[in-house]
Amino acid sequence: MNPTSTLAIDAGQSGIKVRHTDAAGSSEWSAPGIRTDLPLLPQLARIVAQAHEGGRTAERIGLGVSGLTEDETDAGYLLAAATPIGARSVHLAHDSITAYLGALGDERGVVVAAGTGVVTLAVGATEIARVDGWGYIMGDAGSGYWLGRAGLEAVMRAHDGRGDATALSDVVRADFPDLEAAYIELQGDPGRVQRVASYARAVADAAAAGDAVAEAIVTDGARELAASATAGLRRVGELGVPDSRVRGVGGLFLGEVLGREFVAAIRARLPGAEVRLGEAHPLDGAAALADVAPTSALAAHIAVAHV
């Protein structure tokens, strides 16, 4: 087995991405997303087992995981489960850490990672601060779910006569000819979070086409994301630093209106900020967990187990 063989895993709610690298090269594949309402560690162990079933070996495993709690941050459990694949070390962290590493490396700044959910991570000289990422019930402001739900609510407001007409009504009616039955079907769908979040694209498209209702939703979402970035920088003492590094990563930032409004909101608060969108490689971040310097503010937030 090549001593540099690695398995990098980015385990999100919308999907799982895996990269295997050894002397022969690298390969990547995807799998359905993790269930944060079920124990995470067995799900993660199964991802590793599937890689082994494919004939792969890996001495080093790095995992970035959505919804990872302190109770389940058990790199030792995963190292034991990864014995068949030849693992000698496991590095496990919340996906906000790996998203950060994939966007900024081990530098100071803030990264807002927005997909179905959203989490913001700011890193200073000695501290890190996580902002939001509290799930669709309690948080995730500005996320795909947040935008999708707001779009569905706008449709029902228009249907009731409580809100303005919107092009989103035709989109939702194509899926639910009887709008008044939509909420029953959605509430009973085990995949409702992803299904609601899927409407974020329609909201973004309608906003770009000039629909006033959709544009207001997306603008509000962008401002929520910018507020999270600012709060993170403030908490780690980086708010007044010249040329603060701000990154917005994930598919949501590819939307014309959200990307534009996010940058505008950041620059209104931080005129000198270096803002970039869409530049993130979470699998690179997962692979880089083992290389984080012991002196980094991130190091204390990475669980490590060695043979």
What is the CATH number for 86? 3.30.420.40
The domain containing residue 92 runs over which residues? 6-100+282-306
pTM of whole model > 0.85? no
The contacts of residue 134 (CB under 8 Å, 6+ apart) are: 140
pLDDT of 169: 98
For residues 14 and 96, the model is more confident at: 96
In a domain, 175, yes or no: no
Q: Given pLDDT bands bounded at 50, 70 and 90, which one contains residue 242?
A: confident
Residues in the chain: 307
Q: Is residue 1 scored above 60 in pLDDT? A: no
Mean model confidence pLDDT for the chain? 93
Which tens digit of pLDDT belongs to each residue from 35-68? 888 899 999 999 999 999 989 999 999 999 988 8
In a domain, 295, yes or no: yes
Amino acid at 26: S
Q: Look at residue 300 and give its three-state secondary structure.
A: helix
pLDDT of 184: 96
In a domain, 292, yes or no: yes
In a domain, 123, yes or no: no
pLDDT of 2: 44
pLDDT of 199: 97
Given phi > 0 = left and psi -120 to 50 = alpha, else beta, which region is 113?
beta
Strand partners, 6: 21, 60
pLDDT of 70: 85
Q: Is residue 127 scored above 90 in pLDDT? A: yes
- How far apart CA 12 and CA 195 sit, in angstroms, is 15
Amino acid at 176: F
Q: How many folded domains does the chain comprise?
A: 1
Residue owning tokens 């880089």:
288
* DSSP letter (8 states) at residue 188: T
Strand partners, 11: 16, 65
In a domain, 178, yes or no: no
Q: Which of 68-72, 130-134, 208-212, 294-298 has the lowest mean pLDDT?
A: 68-72
Q: Is residue 88 scored above 60 in pLDDT? A: yes
Angle at which helix 212-235 crosses helix 200-208, to 10 degrees, equals 110
The contacts of residue 35 (CB under 8 Å, 6+ apart) are: 43
Q: What is the mean pLDDT of residues 142-163?
A: 98
In a domain, 237, yes or no: no
In a domain, 255, yes or no: no
In a domain, 174, yes or no: no
